[in-house]
Amino acid sequence: MMPFRIPCHESDARTAARLGMIPNIKNLAEAAVPSGNPARKTGKKRLAAMFLITGTIFLGSWASPCRADEPGRGAARRREPEAVGSSPVIKNLVPAGIGAERISGKPEKRRSEMEKFQAEKIRARAAAMLEKAGIVITPLERESMEIVDFGLGDLETMGLEIIVYENNDRYCAKELVLFPRQTCAEHRHPRVSDQNIGKQETFRCRFGEVYLYVPGEPAAEPRAVVPEKYRKYLTVWHEIILRPGDQYTLAPNTLHWFQAGDQGAVVSEFSSTSTDENDIFTDPNIRRVNY
Ligand SMILES: [Fe+2]
């Protein structure tokens, strides 16, 4: 039920009259009272005035945004939240509970545009590396390229770019692109069910140089260059170097991580079914996030 409204300010009635929503009080009273008996004239004047005051209250309340429970005009002019939320544009941009300072939606839109712009630059860079490797991809594959930063927000150091050609319940085929010195974080692919003993994967280098690390004798002088803050989450250091045409197969549930050399690298991955959500990373800060 709509709240009953009354005019909060004298000028509401005047404004209503000026806008033609109600006639001018004085003129209407004079028009309503014909000349003749003074007593009768006075009575009619009172009656007309009462009628006009009642009408003014009614129309003024309709014209004014004030509510009976609001103390003054400043409060009355305040935008009510439900009115803001009813805008179809704002509804699409502002999730429920977002503060009024974000209501315009502009910061979100700008951020989203910047992210799109950044993502496009990253995809273009990766696509150029694929081209260098002689690998042809379709526009759709380029558009759907996964940009993986593991939720660390440090893509240049910890991350990779992935094109998934096929991933079904029997096999999976991907291209992995690594920018110079970019690293795929240490992880393993555990048993998922009785039928799925974990992902087995073969890496074949197509371009550049890849330093792959697995359990075994640690390299005395590993080629990978790792920032100190990530070193504690890299626990296997047996080094395998892959150059174009080299490949290596990992058994399920084997810890591994890899880094591209100074030129970057393109690696084809052939594997059993890929279920990213089941991968286990050594770094507890990692979330498997794609853009
Ligand atoms: Fe893997």
Q: How far is the CA of 201 from the centre of ligand 1 (A)?
A: 7
- Residues 74, 147, single domain; the answer is no
Q: How far is the CA of 69 from the centre of ligand 1 (A)?
A: 64
Given a cut of 50, is residue 64 above it in pLDDT? no
Q: How far is the CA of 119 from the centre of ligand 1 (A)?
A: 23
Given a cut of 70, is residue 54 above it in pLDDT? no
Report how far apart, in Å, the C-alpha atoms of 198 and of each of 167, 169, 193, 254, 271 are: 14, 12, 8, 10, 10
Structural domain harbouring 195: 137-281
Q: How far is the CA of 279 from the centre of ligand 1 (A)?
A: 8
From the list 13, 5, 29, 288, the residue with the least C-alpha distance to 159 is 288
62: amino acid identity, one letter:
W
Return the sign of the alpha-carbon dihedral for residues 4, 6, 12, 16: positive
Query: Has residue 290 been placed in a domain?
Result: no
Given a cut of 50, is residue 279 above it in pLDDT? yes
Plot region of 152 (φ>0 → left; ψ -120 to 50 → alpha; else → beta): alpha
Q: How far is the CA of 170 from the centre of ligand 1 (A)?
A: 16
- Residues 65, 160, single domain; the answer is no
pTM above 0.85, yes or no: no
Are the C-beta atoms of 248 and 202 separated by less than 8 Å?
A: yes
Neighbour tally for 74: CB within 10 Å: 9
Domain count, the chain: 2
Query: Has residue 254 been placed in a domain?
Result: yes
pLDDT score of 129: 98
- Residues 74, 153, single domain; the answer is no
Q: End of a domain among 78, 112, 129?
A: 78
Given a cut of 90, is residue 236 above it in pLDDT? yes
Q: How far is the CA of 260 from the centre of ligand 1 (A)?
A: 15
Instruction: Give exposure, 51-67, as e/b (b: 16+ Cβ within 10 Å).
Output: ebeebbeebbbebbbbb
Q: What is the rounded average pLDDT for all residues in the chain?
A: 75
Q: How far is the CA of 256 from the centre of ligand 1 (A)?
A: 7
pLDDT digits (tens, 9 = 90+) for 9-29: 444 444 444 444 444 434 444
pLDDT score of 43: 54
pLDDT score of 10: 40
- Residues 186, 72, single domain; the answer is no
- Residues 72, 143, single domain; the answer is no
Query: Has residue 145 been placed in a domain?
Result: yes
Are the C-beta atoms of 210 and 179 separated by less than 8 Å?
A: no
- Pairwise pLDDT comparison (79 vs 54), residue with the higher score: 54
pLDDT score of 53: 52
pLDDT score of 178: 98
Q: End of a domain among 53, 78, 103?
A: 78
Half-sphere exposure of 66 (CA within 13 A, CB side): 21
Return the CATH number at 201.
2.60.120.10
Q: How far is the CA of 115 from the centre of ligand 1 (A)?
A: 27
- Pairwise pLDDT comparison (94 vs 198), residue with the higher score: 198
CA distance 199 to 190: 7
Query: Has residue 260 been placed in a domain?
Result: yes
Given a cut of 50, is residue 224 above it in pLDDT? yes
